[in-house]
Amino acid sequence: MKLNDLLKNVDVLEVSADLELEISNVVYDSRKAEKDCLFVAVTGFASDGNRFIPMALEKGATVVVTAKKPEKDIPYILVASDRLALAQISCNWFGHPAKAMTMIGITGTNGKTSSTLLLKHVLEKVLGAKVGLIGTMENRIGDQVFPTERTTPESFELQQLFARMKEAGCTHVVMEVSSHALTLERIGGVYFDVAAFTNLTEDHLDFHGSMEEYCDAKAELFRRCGRAVLNRDDQWHDRIAAGSTCDVLTTSKMPSAGLYARDVELRSDGVSFTAVCRGRKAPVSLPIPGAFTVYNALTVLGIALQLGMDLEAAAEALATAQGVKGRVEVVPTPGKPYTVLIDYAHTPDGLENVLSSVRGFCKGRLIAVFGCGGDRDPVKRPIMGEIGARLADIAIITSDNPRSEAPMAIIEDILKGIADRKNCVVVENRMEAIGYAMDIAEKDDIIVLAGKGHETYQEICGVKHHMDEREIVAGFLA
């Protein structure tokens, strides 16, 4: 592809290269540079891609795209934003595959993964669609599963994935859109047919600095879509809505919203309610317990309506959905009188939601096993400590993914939020903490293993070690 074609829609400030050059590939990692490729020097947090321009040129790169004017005389394209340029160049390189499919993006602190998986199921059941899915747990093309390292891939890999989805015959793409992806322009050049907002609670403040900035990052999605679904019951709804430039459908448990839930029933084996929208109503039932399931279901139904689907048909499809791995997942404990649940709750709101929901149907004691991740927002640690100690009968404080931090230092931060520690136990080793919880569990108790969810590893000192909580529970029983 010619350089000139690659630069369409890119905000170019200065050109010092032959625009008729034939480009063999696009790379932003100098180690992958090759003969006649274009190298995009991205300014990162850990390192600056401009430092690796000499390496890229030595490997054969024929032109460099950068937001910093090079000091040496080299072929370059000076752009306003290196990250946005990478995204738009990637769109051009792969031929804008997203334009050939119906694009749906879901953002928010909690509920994104469950909502995307439920929506994929509804689209397949009601429309017979082949759906591509991009998210925290995995990426999918129809039934084919691909591993993922982050919620939203870097822009080049994202466009490459879109191209694979288009080639495989996908008609719809459902994706989680993280605040990092919006801020770092990973979805640059992508227009969404429908976008949805689930909720906003404390998370990623180490990156965004404040809740207001975090909210504004999420709100950017609603300037890049045709229609939106917004959770009106969330306290940040008004700020999100204020920045929206599209047709909006609100959801709520109150009749004031465009789509709302009434006659809500929460059970240990799921939820049921009546969905009401513009004079239409439909019974909804899902085999996933928890009040948050009602909100996730409303998000999915709202998106279905914004896509022009029938409310009753979408509700019927939801009734056949399965539980989501790592989201209030029941772990088999044959022969034991207690229940073990695994949930991804790793934020204050997530922990409060799952413990409050379980409290609603727990007949015995609620035992919570949780920790906090290292190298992430430390502000939430004492907050989660307070929530866990307040809502659980027994709170077992342990490790999550300590990453590069000392596990006990993180635990000490969690304990700062707990004034009365009479119902708290500290067990640093997570495997031992799970074993301790199962040792003390009695008839009708419910153990909630919070934080890891679908993850099957624990990261310690930067190294990922295999650790699947389902295997730990099974091993303890054996």
**pLDDT(283) > 80:** yes
**pLDDT(16) > 70:** yes
Gyration radius (Cα) of the chain, Å: 24
Q: What is the mean pLDDT of residues 420-430?
A: 96
Cβ 186 vs Cβ 153: under 8 Å: yes
Residue 45's pLDDT band (cuts 50, 70, 90): low
Q: What integer pLDDT is reported at residue 206 of this predicted model?
A: 61
Q: What is the mean pLDDT of residues 284-297?
A: 91
pLDDT top residue among 438 and 327: 438
Residue 392's pLDDT band (cuts 50, 70, 90): very high
Cβ 428 vs Cβ 408: under 8 Å: yes
**pLDDT(208) > 80:** no
Q: What is the mean pLDDT of residues 245-271?
A: 92
Strand order in the sheet with 76-79: 12-16, 76-79, 63-66, 38-40, 26-27
Q: What is the mean pLDDT of residues 294-316?
A: 97
Domains of the chain, first to last: 3-82 (3.40.1390.10), 97-318 (3.40.1190.10), 329-477 (3.90.190.20)
Residue 205's pLDDT band (cuts 50, 70, 90): low
Q: What integer pLDDT is reported at residue 150 of this predicted model?
A: 67
Greatest Cα pair distance, the chain, in angstroms, is 75
Tokens of 436: 């301790």
> Residues 142-147: contacts with CB within 8 Å, 24+ apart?
142/168, 142/170, 144/168
Mean pLDDT score across all residues of the chain: 93
Q: What integer pLDDT is reported at residue 204 of this predicted model?
A: 56
pLDDT top residue among 184 and 26: 26
pLDDT digits (tens, 9 = 90+) for 87-122: 999 999 999 999 999 999 999 988 898 999 999 999
- H or E element, residue 120: helix 112-127
SS3 425: strand
Distance CA 22, CA 4 (A): 9
Least trusted range by pLDDT, from 107-111, 205-209, 357-361: 205-209
Checking DSSP bridges between strand 339-343 and strand 329-331, what pairing results, if any?
A: antiparallel
Least trusted range by pLDDT, from 63-77, 134-148, 287-301, 373-387: 134-148
